Structure 1
Amino acid sequence: MTARTADARAALPPALAEVLADYEEHLRWQRDLSAHTLRGYVGDAVWLLDHLVRRGGTRIEDLDLPTLRSWLAHNRARGAGRATIARRAAAARSFTRWLRRSGLTSEDVGLRLVSPKAHRTLPEVLAPDQARAVVDSAAGAEDPVGLRDAVVLELLYASGIRVSELVGLDVDDVDRDRRLLRVLGKGRKERTVPYGAPAERALDAWLTRGRPALATERSGPALLLGLRGGRLDQREARRTVHAAVTAAPGAPDIGPHGLRHSVATHVLEGGADLRLVQELLGHASLATTQLYTHVTVDRLRAVHARAHPRA
C-alpha cells in the first residue's frame, strides 16, 4: 500500500475504517488471495470509501449506486484507462457483494454497476528462433550464478510457469525421473507441469555444481537460490530474463510473462489442444487461454502476407 493510500485509510471515519479492516481480514483468510491482489482490492476499497466521505457519507449504509458511478467517473476524469476502470469496478462489486453477504447492507448496490470492457491486447511473443537464443544465452556457464540463470531460463520456457511459481519451487517439487514439476499456482491451486531434456540437463548441473556452492543455513528446501543463499527473489529472476532477451537479436522487450506467452503460442502452433494448454498454464478459465489462439491467427496472417504471392 502506498503512503498516499495509507494516509487516506487513516483519515477514514472509525465506522468505515472498521468495515474496511473486516473486509481485509475476509480477503486474507477466506479468499486466500496473493499479497499483490490483496493490496489491490484493499487499496481500491480505501479510495472508494474516501470518495464516499467526500460526498458526505459517514456510514457504510450511505454507499449507493450513484456513489459507485461517481467514483468510476472520478477515476476516468483523472486519466484512468479502460482496463483500470474495469478492474476498479470489479473490485467495487466484490466489496459491495461482501457487504451484503455480511449483513452490513440490506442490498448489493454494486449489482447494477457496469464498466467498460478492458481491451484485450495481444501479448508480444518471441519467435521460436528468438526463444532458442534466449534460453541458450546462459548455456555453457560453469559458475554457480550462471548455472542458476540457465535453470531459470530453461524451466520458464520449458514449462510456461509463472515467475512466482518458479521461485516458489522446492527441491522436492521436482520429479526428475518423470521430468515433472509440482507447482503451486494462483489461489494455492496445485498442478503438475512437465519439462524436457534440456531443462533436465540444466537442473542436473545446478543441483550438482551450482546450488551446493550457494547453499547456506537459510537456504532451506528452496530449489533456486540467491547470492546470499536465500530463496531466489522474483526481481532477480526477472533481471535474468530481461538480460537474456536483450541479448537476443530482434527479440521484443519482454520479461518472464512474455516468455510464458511465447510458450503458450509455440505449443498451440505445434498442434496442442487448447484445454491441455489451459492445464499447462494453470488458467482458471478457458477464455484466458483462448487469447493465445488470436495470437497464433495474427502470426498466421503476418506470415501469409509476407509469403503468399497473392496476399
Structure 2
Amino acid sequence: MSIQKWSDRQKLDLKLPAMPWFVRQFINYKLPDLSPSSLLEYVRDYESFFGWLRAEGISQASSNAEITLLDLETLHMDSITGYRLHLTSRAESANSRITVSRKLSALRSLFHYLSQIAEDENFYPLLKRNVMAKVEIKRVHKPKDTAAKLKGKILEEDELLEFVGYILEGYGKDVEDNKQAYYAFQLNRERDACIASLILNSGLRVSEVVNLNVDDLDPNNKLLYVFRKGNNDETFKTPVYFREQAKDELMAYLTLRQTRYSTPKKEKALFVAKPNGSNEGKRMTKRAIQEMIIKYAKRFGKPYLTVHKLRHSFATDYYLQNDIYKTKEQLGHASTETTEVYAHLTDKTMSEAIERRQDS
C-alpha cells in the first residue's frame, strides 16, 4: 500500500466510528472497489451534510452517528436545494461548481446503496424513498473547457527543457544575493531539477512521485514502477516509462541522495529532504514538492505553473507525437474521456496540423 493510501486509511478508520451504522456499512461495501483516499472524501462529505441537517433542525440527532435512516427517508427536495445553496453561497468558504457536484455525487452513491442494494432482515431496502434520485448532477468540466483554462499556463516546446535548466542554474543567479535562498538552492538543485525533469518526461502525478522508492527505479530500461491512482490492487505497481532526457538528472541526484541528505539505509524513499532540526533525510512530502515547483515557477516567469501543470505540460507534448490511447496509458487515466483535454490543442497547433495534412 502506498504511503498516501496508508495515511488515508488510518484517517478513515478514525472517522468511521463517528458515522451512522449504515454509512459504515456502505464504506465497507465500497472498500474493495475504491481507494481509501476516495472513501475518506466520501466520509468528509457526509460529515458536512449531516452537520448541516442537524444545524438546520432537519434532524434532531445530537451527533452525526445518531442520524437515522428515517431522517434521510423523509427529506424534502427543498432540503436538498437548501443544502446546495449552503454549499455555493457560504461567504467564508463557498465551494466551486466541481466541488458541489462531487459532494452531491457522494450523497447519491450513499442513497443509491441504501435504496437499491442494502437490505434489512426481511429483504426490504434499507431506504424506502430516495430523494437523491431526483437530483440531476450536470457534468461540470468538459475537456474543451479544461483545455481553454490551461492555455498559456503550461510549458510548451523548448520551455520543458528550459525550466529544468533554470532550476539547475538560472535560479541560483537570481537569488545569489540572498544567502539563505542561495544556500537552499545549492543544497537542493540536483534533487529539484530531477523531480521536475521526471514529471516533464513521464507525466507522473505528484502523489506517485512522493511514493516512489529507490527500488522502483530501473534506469537502464528507463522504467519506474508506480502505485497508480485508482488501482486498488495493493500488491501491483504499474511500469511507467520515462524519456531519456530525465536519465541524466536522475543519475546525478542518485549519486548524492545518501551523502548530502544523510539518508539512512532504512529509508526507501527515492526523493528525500532533511527537515530543519533533523539529522537525517526523510521522504519528501507532497506539499514540499508542490511548494518547490511554485517557487521556481514564479522566478521563471510562469506564476500559474504548478506541479500538476507540469504533468499537463508533458501530456500535451506527448499527445502531439502519439494517439489518445497511448497518452491515456502513459498518464494512468481510467478512461479516454479524461485524456480528451489534450485533443483540444492550441489554435497554432491545430493550424499546423491542418497544414501538415494538406502537404501529405
| TM-score bracket relative to the smaller structure | 0.7 to 0.9
What is the number of residues matched between the two proteins?
Answer: 288
Q: Deviations over 1:175-209 (max 9, x none)?
A: 11210111112123642221122311111111122
| % identical equivalent positions | 26
Structure 2 residues without counterparts, runs of 5 or longer = 1-14, 61-67, 120-125, 173-184, 275-279, 354-360
SS at match of 1:217: coil
Question: How far, CA to CA, are the matches of 2:265 and 2:58 in structure 1?
Answer: 52
The CA deviation string for residues 87-132 of structure 1, in whole angstroms up to 9 with x for no partner, is: 1221111221232323332354423321343144332322223222
Q: Which residue of 2 aligns with 1:135?
A: 164
For the residue of structure 1 that corresponds to 2:155, the secondary structure is coil
Task: Find 1:267's aligned residue among 315, 318, 334.
Answer: 318
- Matches of 1:164 and 1:112 in 2, distance apart? 36
Alignment-derived partner of residue 118 in structure 2: 102
Q: 1:238-253, aligned counterparts within 5 Å?
A: 238-249=290-301, 251-253=302-304
The answer for the alignment partner of 1:307 in structure 2 is none
CA distance in 1, matches of 2:231, 2:350: 38
Bigger shift: residues 216-225 or 229-238: 216-225
**Secondary structure of the corresponding residue to residue 110 of structure 1:** helix
> RMSD value over aligned CA atoms?
3.1
**Which residue number in structure 2 is paired with residue 284 of structure 1?**
334
Identify the residue that residue 184 of structure 1 maps to in structure 2: 227
Aligned position for 2:80: 68
Change in Cα spacing, 1:293 to 1:245, as seen in structure 2 (3 Å) is same
Q: Which residue pairs with 1:5 in the alignment?
A: none
| 1:78-93 equivalent positions in 2, closer than 5 A | 78=90, 79-93=94-108
Q: 1:247 to 1:81 in 2, by over 3 A?
A: closer
The alignment partner of 1:211 has SS state of helix
Call closer, same or farther: CA 1:112–1:293 in 2, change over 3 Å. same
Q: SS of the residue aligned with 1:240? A: helix
Give the aligned partner of residue 19 of structure 1.
22
* Contact in 2 for aligned 1:126/1:252 (Cα 8 Å): no
Partner of 2:3: none
Provide Cα deviations, 1:53-86, integer angstroms capped at 9, x if missing partner.
4353352233246243442243234354422321
Change (3 A) 1:264 1:205: same
CA distance in 2, matches of 1:226, 1:77: 41
TM-score, normalised with respect to structure 2: 0.70
2:45 matched residue in structure 1: 44
Q: What TM-score do the two structures reach when normalised by structure 1? A: 0.80
- Does structure 1 residue 114 correspond to structure 2 residue 157? no
Instruction: Return closer, same or farther for 1:87/1:172 CA change in 2, 3 Å cut-off.
Output: same
Distance 2:39 2:265 in 1: 28
Q: Does the 8 Å contact 1:51/1:71 carry over to 2?
A: yes
Query: Do the aligned residues in 1 keep the contact of 2:258 with 2:264 (CA within 8 Å)?
Result: no
Match of 2:32 among 27, 30, 35: 30
Q: Secondary structure at the match of 1:192?
A: strand
Name stretches of at least 5 consecutive residues in structure 1 with no aligned partner.
Answer: 1-8, 305-311
Judging changes above 3 Å, is the alpha-carbon distance between structure 1 residues 211 and 158 closer, same or farther for their aligned structure 2 residues?
Answer: farther
Q: C-alpha separation between the residues in 1 aligned to 2:97 and 2:253?
A: 44
Q: Which amino acid aligns with 2:158?
A: D
